[in-house]
Amino acid sequence: MCTILLSNLTPMTALFSPAAAVGGVVIAAAIGVGFGVFPAMRAARLAPIEALRAA
């Protein structure tokens, strides 16, 4: 949709690369896992009272 709109409004050609889209999703998922799972694993090792005191 955006590529058609961009092509119609500007003299530039818009290209869509499925590989770039898949790569972006994979990188975003890896970042989400990294910033979500690792802190959760670290917090899971704490005793419940210690975890509440640290928060």
Q: What residues contact residue 13 under an 8 Å CB cut-off, 6+ apart?
A: 7
Residue 14's pLDDT is 67
Q: Is 11 helix (H, G, I), strand (E, B) or coil?
A: coil
Residue 10 has pLDDT above 80, yes or no: no
Q: Is 5 helix (H, G, I), strand (E, B) or coil?
A: helix
* pTM attached to this predicted model: 0.56
Residue 11's pLDDT is 79
Residue 1 has pLDDT above 70, yes or no: no
Is 41 domain-assigned?
yes
Q: How many domains does the chain have?
A: 1
Is 5 domain-assigned?
no
Q: What is the mean pLDDT of residues 37-43?
A: 86
Residue 24's pLDDT is 95
To the nearest 10°, report the CA torsion of 22, 27, 31, 33: 50
Is 8 domain-assigned?
no
Is 7 domain-assigned?
no
- What is the extent of the structural domain holding 50? 17-54
Residue 23's pLDDT is 96
Is 22 domain-assigned?
yes
DSSP secondary structure letter of residue 15:
-
Is 39 domain-assigned?
yes
**Rounded distance between C-alpha atoms, residue 50 and residue 46, angstroms:** 6
